[in-house]
């Protein structure tokens, strides 16, 4: 079985894989059945870019750490109009 995953779906899949491994360590799939997950090239490129930018820009790394703490504390309140605008821009580019 093969599937393409992008965006938030990746995180859900990874969480599911972690949970499955934690619940049944050493358990193998049934004979002849293999599972394969292919991440979209766009997602792979975004991951590489993210890793490079985090290591090369300490100011950005500090901002990301601050955002992670806010999210963890439940105090992060993004501007929903900016989020919606950015999402619409992204989706319109994807359809072009």
Q: Give percent of the chain with pLDDT exceeding 90.
A: 30
pLDDT digits (tens, 9 = 90+) for 11-36: 666 667 667 666 655 545 455 667 77
Number of domains in the chain: 2
Is residue 5 helix, strand or coil? strand
pLDDT digits (tens, 9 = 90+) for 47-56: 777 666 556 7
Residue from 2, 33, 37, 1 nearest 17 by CA: 37
Residue 70 lies in a domain: yes
The parent domain of residue 21 ranges over: 1-41
CA 29 – CA 17 distance, rounded (Å): 13
What is the DSSP-derived secondary structure letter of residue 89?
H
Residue 47 lies in a domain: no
Q: Give percent of the chain with pLDDT exceeding 70.
A: 57
Residue 49 lies in a domain: no
Residue 51 lies in a domain: no
Residue 52 lies in a domain: no
pLDDT digits (tens, 9 = 90+) for 54-93: 567 888 889 989 999 999 999 999 999 999 999 999 999 9
């Amino acid at each position: 079985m093969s599937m393409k995953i992008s965006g938030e779906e990746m995180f859900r899949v990874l969480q599911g894989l972690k949970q499955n491994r934690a619940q049944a360590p050493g358990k193998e799939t049934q004979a002849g059945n293999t599972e394969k997950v292919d991440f979209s090239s766009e997602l792979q490129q975004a991951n590489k870019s993210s890793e490079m930018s985090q290591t090369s820009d300490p100011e950005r790394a500090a901002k990301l750490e601050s955002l992670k703490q806010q999210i963890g504390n439940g105090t992060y309140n993004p501007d929903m109009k900016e989020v919606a605008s950015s999402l619409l821009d992204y989706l319109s580019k994807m359809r072009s």
